[in-house]
Amino acid sequence: MSHFVYILASQRNGTLYIGVTNDVVRRVYEHKQGLISGFTRKHGIKDLVYVEVFDDVIGAIAREKQLKTWRRAWKIELIEKTNPYWNDLYATVV
């Protein structure tokens, strides 16, 4: 079973959220619809701007924790390596 580390953004260079899930389509849909109370709903964070795939949950959780310790500039650089225009990638994972 695949696991995913994902980054959502409120807009280009906006507020970021990093999460981990075993179903990226369902989880991002929940964020987009405001079904999850908390940080993402409060800050309007809905655009999927980065995704990594892992074969096991341990690797995914380790990567999520690593990314959460990174400086903001490093996170932006990571996003822009594969998604320079900060397009919402949700349609590409559905």
| Measured distance CA(13)–CA(26) in Å, rounded | 24
Which pLDDT value is given to residue 7? 98
Position 9 scores a pLDDT of 98
Q: What is the pLDDT of residues 7-32, one digit of tens each?
A: 999 999 999 999 999 999 999 999 99
Label residue 58 by pLDDT band (50, 70, 90).
very high
Please state whether beta strands 16-21 and 47-54 pair in parallel, antiparallel, or not at all (unpaired): unpaired
- Confidence (pLDDT) at 33: 96
pTM for this entry: 0.97
Confidence of residue 93 (pLDDT cuts 50, 70, 90): very high
pLDDT of residue 70: 98
Tokens at 39, concatenated: 């940080």
Q: Exposed, middle or buried by CB within 10 Å (0-12, 13-18, 19+), for 88?
A: middle
